[in-house]
């Protein structure tokens, strides 16, 4: 079987020009001006692979702009990231980050600008599922496997919609003009459908695949999606305890329409169900040979860090196809533009110059990282020399593997020294190149996913895959759900501390349910930073209105030459005031869909509260 990325290239030649014509006819059946039909596409394995590849391309998203509706990291709409706006609006305008962060999101300018693309992916998955039995030269086992992949892809896109909108139109088959207007299902029915499909997909696919098929779904990936959905479903936004009812009442209709937004009553057993699902992932992953990624201690020189010992966190994302990864998107493979996309949006201004995006982490997010001894860390208001101070802070090793800073040797020195300081006494600004706009003085930027580069070349990313599910997430999922169900204990502590131990951090043993909740929320922010989890976590915990209304700060540096040495004097500065209206918890459906009067059924247009 050929690699997925090869199939994605091939499909463009075969079916790229076939359109769905507003879903009034089946995709592939009667393409305008063409002769390719369902019979020809699904006649041989070789031809059917094209449709399978298109299914993956439409259904499995990533943090890469070429495979995502927004040309930026998803964290740009959270407290974890700030991009100078509108100076870099080309990098984040397609997800409407400016209006969103200013409190002005609308149905015509939402963070999901490609609503219909979700259903294109679902339709493609349903077409593959319906027609794969027509392949004449394939074994029953192969057809069964492909059906499992199709069901998984269908579930994946329903999950993407559920996490943004709540209950959605659930589509489990190919629609035609007679049945295409499907109204929103209840939140419970939406979750139940996704879970059922995950179970079905897991029963049809193998737990592991050969290396040539890295990036294809597996039974473990299906179990992982199920567990994540059940964790979200158990969380306060949908499964609201009495202690949070006053918040929930502000984001709902408070009438019968709330069935599409949440469960009617709180049930602690949902946390138990979520815990069991996450433990099932952990057990199945272990049986298949997966484990947390450990290895030789990383080289302290690579970050300018002077620790004698170092955690192994960076190996988890920098070592391709490692044992911790349960499911990834291999979009960056064998594409002439993929390396550029990766560097342009996820790497540094130093590497990409004027083409790069400055991904600035706010002070408020960086302060979630503890000191090496496990005590809290807070920035002072100012300091004398940033690189010296950063090393002296002696923080969680993950801080140094996640953030780059002014004066640091970037990428083990292969790309040079970061010079982001503004002009000061006897010092001109630390220009990056004549074609660049110059440094803005903001001294930190994201560094995760960079250290694995073999050279300073921004296109050196052909062995990078975007993480969708990894084992470490499910250690944290399990610990969180178990604590919410029965409180902390040896089991919750073990899985929390396995993550901390790998990072090089001391154990924690929170003594109460509330204390453990605080600890696990913070650990998720740090461990899963910039993996696309922060938005979902803040929303499901009903904490987004807190973190989304912060006055965000950065660290700015100014050059100051003393005894012929440039010191990087630094100070805390204001980045922006973020706004998060309560109605943001459920984003709006596009006007185009609401105007068709199918989302809510009779007597209601189906739009979410407040829009």
Question: How confident is the model at residue 75, as a pLDDT?
Answer: 87
- 592 contact partners, CB below 8 Å, separation of at least 6: none
- SS3 sequence of 49-91: HHHHHHHHHHHCCCCCHHHCCCCCCHHHHCCCCECCCCCCHHH
Query: Where does the pLDDT of residue 348 fall: very low under 50, low under 70, confident under 90, or very high at 90 and above?
Result: low
Which regions of 287-344 does DSSP assign to beta strands (E)? 325-329
pLDDT: which is higher, 20 or 590:
590
For the ranges 8-22, 218-232, 355-369, the maximum mean pLDDT occurs at: 218-232
Nearest CA to 557 among 406, 438, 427, 408? Answer: 406
What are 297's two structure tokens? 């201690």
What are 159's two structure tokens? 């999950």
DSSP state of 102: B
Alpha-carbon span 331 to 57, nearest angstrom? 9
Q: How many contiguous H segments (helices) and E segments (strands) does the chain have?
A: 23, 9
Has residue 532 got a pLDDT over 60? Answer: yes
Has residue 446 got a pLDDT over 90? Answer: no
Has residue 157 got a pLDDT over 50? Answer: yes
453-476 exposure pattern, b = at least 16 Cβ within 10 A, e = fewer: beeeebbbbeebbbbbbbbbbbbb
What are 482's two structure tokens? 């178990």
Alpha-carbon span 219 to 316, nearest angstrom? 21
Nearest CA to 261 among 548, 606, 543? Answer: 606
Alpha-carbon span 19 to 12, nearest angstrom? 12
What are 95's two structure tokens? 């997800």
DSSP state of 543: -
Alpha-carbon span 345 to 67, nearest angstrom? 12
Whether 23 and 180 have beta carbons less than 8 Å apart is answered as: yes
Mean pLDDT computed over every residue of the chain: 85
Question: How confident is the model at residue 410, as a pLDDT?
Answer: 73
* 535-570 confidence digits (pLDDT tens): 999 999 999 999 999 999 999 999 999 999 999 999
Domains and CATH numbers, the chain: 36-69+112-186 (1.25.40.890), 73-104+341-451+549-582 (no CATH)
Question: How confident is the model at residue 330, as a pLDDT?
Answer: 81
Sheet containing 565-577: give its strands across.
Answer: 382-383, 565-577, 551-562
pLDDT: which is higher, 338 or 191:
191
> 172-181 long-range CB contacts below 8 Å, 24 or more apart?
172/126, 172/197, 173/126, 173/130, 174/26, 174/123, 174/126, 174/127, 174/130, 175/23, 175/123, 176/24, 176/25, 176/26, 177/23, 177/24, 177/25, 180/23, 180/24, 181/596, 181/598
Nearest CA to 273 among 158, 154, 186, 192? Answer: 192
- Give the strand pairing for 444-446 and 565-577: unpaired
**Rounded to whole angstroms, what are the CA distances from 6 to 52, 57, 190, 198?**
12, 12, 34, 26
Task: Please give the backbone phi and psi of residue 487, each rounded to the nearest 5 degrees, phi first.
Answer: 85, 175
Residue 565: its H or E element: strand 565-577
Nearest CA to 21 among 34, 10, 30, 13? Answer: 30
* 233-274 confidence digits (pLDDT tens): 999 999 999 999 999 999 999 999 999 999 999 999 999 999
Q: How far apart are the first and last CA of the chain?
A: 47
Alpha-carbon span 203 to 591, nearest angstrom? 39
* 452-463 confidence digits (pLDDT tens): 454 555 444 455
Q: What's the mean pLDDT in 593-604? A: 93
The CA-based angle 441-444-447, given to 5 degrees, is 140
* 373-427 confidence digits (pLDDT tens): 999 999 999 999 999 999 999 999 999 989 989 998 876 666 677 888 888 988 8
Alpha-carbon span 277 to 226, nearest angstrom? 7
Alpha-carbon span 401 to 575, nearest angstrom? 23
For the entire predicted model, the pTM comes to: 0.91
Question: How confident is the model at residue 19, as a pLDDT?
Answer: 33
Q: What's the mean pLDDT in 436-449? A: 72
Question: How confident is the model at residue 412, as a pLDDT?
Answer: 62
Nearest CA to 327 among 371, 281, 376? Answer: 281
Q: Is the dihedral of CA 352, 354, 357, 361 positive or negative?
A: positive
């Amino acid at each position: 079987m050929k690699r997925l990325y090869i199939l994605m290239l091939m499909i463009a030649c075969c079916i790229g020009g076939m359109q769905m014509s507003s879903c009034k006819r089946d995709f592939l059946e009667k393409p305008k001006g063409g002769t390719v039909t369902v019979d020809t596409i699904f006649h041989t394995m070789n031809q059917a692979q094209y449709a399978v590849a298109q299914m993956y391309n439409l259904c499995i998203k990533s943090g890469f702009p070429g495979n995502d509706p927004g040309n930026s990291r998803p964290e740009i709409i959270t407290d974890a990231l700030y991009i100078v706006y509108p100076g870099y609006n080309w990098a984040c305008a397609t997800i409407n980050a400016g209006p969103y962060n200013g409190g002005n999101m609308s149905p015509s300018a939402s963070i999901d600008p490609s609503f219909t693309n979700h259903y294109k992916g679902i339709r493609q998955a349903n077409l593959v599922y319906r027609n794969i039995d027509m392949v004449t030269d394939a074994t029953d086992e192969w057809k069964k496997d492909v059906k499992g992949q199709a069901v998984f892809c269908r579930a994946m896109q329903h999950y993407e919609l559920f996490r943004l909108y709540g209950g959605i139109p659930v589509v489990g088959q190919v629609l035609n003009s007679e049945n295409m207007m499907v109204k929103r299902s209840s939140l419970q029915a939406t979750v139940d459908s996704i879970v059922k499909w995950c179970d079905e997909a897991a029963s049809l696919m193998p737990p592991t695949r050969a290396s040539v098929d890295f990036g294809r779904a597996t039974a473990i990936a299906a179990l992982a999606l199920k567990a994540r959905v059940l964790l979200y479903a158990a969380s306060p936004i949908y499964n609201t305890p009495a202690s949070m009812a006053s918040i929930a009442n502000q984001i709902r209709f408070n009438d019968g329409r709330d069935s599409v937004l949440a469960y009617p009553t709180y049930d602690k057993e949902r946390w138990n169900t979520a815990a069991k699902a996450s433990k099932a992932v952990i057990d199945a992953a272990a049986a298949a040979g997966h484990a947390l990624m450990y290895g030789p201690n990383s080289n302290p020189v690579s970050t300018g860090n002077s620790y004698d010992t170092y955690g192994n966190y960076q190996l988890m994302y920098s070592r391709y196809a490692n044992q911790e990864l349960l499911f990834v998107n291999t979009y960056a493979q064998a594409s002439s533009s993929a390396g550029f996309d990766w560097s342009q949006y996820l790497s540094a201004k130093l590497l990409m110059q004027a083409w790069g995006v400055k991904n600035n982490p706010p002070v408020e997010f960086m302060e979630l990282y503890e000191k090496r001894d496990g005590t809290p860390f807070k920035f002072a208001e100012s300091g004398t020399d940033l690189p010296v101070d950063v090393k002296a802070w002696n923080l969680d090793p993950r801080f140094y593997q996640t953030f780059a800073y002014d004066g640091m040797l970037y990428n083990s020195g292969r790309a040079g020294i970061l010079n982001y300081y503004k002009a000061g006494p006897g010092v001109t600004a630390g220009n990056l190149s004549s074609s660049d706009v110059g440094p803005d003085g903001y001294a930190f930027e994201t560094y995760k996913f960079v250290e694995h580069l073999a050279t300073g070349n921004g296109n050196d990313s052909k062995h990078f895959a975007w993480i969708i599910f990894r084992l470490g997430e499910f250690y944290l999922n399990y610990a969180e759900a178990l604590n919410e169900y029965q409180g902390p204990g040896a089991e919750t502590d073990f899985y929390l501390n396995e993550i901390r131990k790998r990072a090089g951090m001391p154990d924690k043993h929170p003594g109460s349910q509330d204390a453990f909740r605080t600890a696990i929320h913070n650990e998720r922010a740090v461990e899963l930073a910039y993996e696309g989890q922060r938005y979902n976590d803040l929303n499901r915990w009903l904490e987004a209105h807190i973190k989304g209304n912060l006055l965000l700060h950065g660290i700015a540096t100014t050059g100051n030459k003393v005894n012929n040495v440039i010191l990087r004097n630094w100070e805390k500065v204001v980045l922006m005031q973020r706004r998060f209206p309560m109605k943001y918890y459920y984003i709006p459906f596009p006007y185009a869909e609401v105007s068709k009067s199918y989302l809510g059924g009779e007597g209601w247009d189906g739009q979410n509260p407040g829009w």
